[in-house]
A = this chain, B = another copy of it.
Amino acid sequence: MAKRKPVSIRDVARESNASLTTVSLVLNKRDGRISSATRERVLKAVDKLGYVPNRLAQSLQAQKSGFLAILVPELRHVFADPYFGELISAIEEAANEAGYKLLLEVAHKQDIEQKRHVELFQRRFVDGLLCLGSTNRDDFLGDFVGSDNAVIIVNNHLPALSLNSVMCDYRQAGVLAAEHLIDLGHKDIAYIHGAAEVQTASDLRESFEARLASSGIKMPKNHAADGLYTEAGGAAAAAQLLKTNPNITAIMAGNDKMAIGAIAGLKNAGLSVPKDVSVVGCDDLQPSLYSDPPLTTIHTPLDEVGHRACTAVLALFEGKQEHVTETLPVSLTLRNSTCGPRKIR
């Protein structure tokens, strides 16, 4: 149990009667000019002592840490949310392939006030930063505009700031959802939205309403309710919408969580989904498969978003790219929470 002190390159040099330089060259395979006899000696010593280079020292010297940070908003149990989880999983895969490690960073209010996020770079903590769940109110992101830090907004974009981003096409998502409901024959449609300060949430809603409008379907103000991005919020919103507008035959929700909540709310009110009211979600996360009924939803390729975002942030860091804005297409996943409208009266 004794804290035995770690082996350094110095020890290897001593053990093998070579210089630090020689050992380093051998270990980094830049040993074109090292005789194979010396190489052997060095390697034997490395093996005998169980030497492994100190990563901190390497990073210090190389001026790069090999870390990428993932910044997530400060929400209760944020990592338990499959939306973030799926993105993180995808990012991890890509990072691992590229030999990078992932650092978790939660945007605690304090940290942001003290500009800790900028320090991440200044202090050489990380080589790049991936921002998940950003909102238009996160003005600390402005600190990165025009800086040479490798920062990317994942699955969102901030119109006010010119920042790099990789995201799904939420405008297309709105159109697809709207067309699906139109095709089924719905005319009385309600909307449960997430936070307005999330740009993609606005994109989704706007394009959804626009597409309905272009087919002559209007959505009055009271056909929309805030679902707070949670199941409970979705349930409450559904209940409220139902009370105000008993005639609605379909509900579109800004994400799967709210859609699942809405289904619970509707059932609670004695209605059947989809017979009485159809429900469409957005994201196509795992839970939508096991909701009852399984959720018809817009599939957003989060896996690919995560992968590309990670690749992009590395490209930025390495200076291979100056600016990134990618938008990936989405699709409709048909399950059982939608059908034609019930006959009213």
Chain A residues close to B by CB (< 8 Å): 1-4, 6, 50, 52-57, 59-60, 65, 67, 76-82, 84-86, 88-89, 92, 96, 101-106, 108, 119, 122-125, 146, 148, 231, 260-261, 263-264, 267, 285-287, 289-292, 322
Contact = CB atoms under 8 A, between A and B. Distances in A.
A290 to B, nearest CB: 5
Given A2-B148, A123-B54, A148-B3, A77 B290 contact: no
A304 to B, nearest CB: 13
Contacts of A104: 88, 92, 101-104
Nearest to A235: B290
Pick the 8 closest A-B CB pairs, nearest first.
Answer: A80-B85, A55-B123, A79-B85, A102-B104, A79-B88, A80-B86, A80-B82, A52-B122
A50 B123 CA distance: 11
Contacts of A122: 6, 50, 52
7 contacts: A55-B123, A55-B124, A57-B60, A79-B92, A84-B85, A88-B104, A101-B125
A316 B187 CA distance: 63
Contacts of A4: 148
A80 B286 contact: yes
A128 to B, nearest CB: 14
A55 B261 CA distance: 44
A52 B123 contact: yes
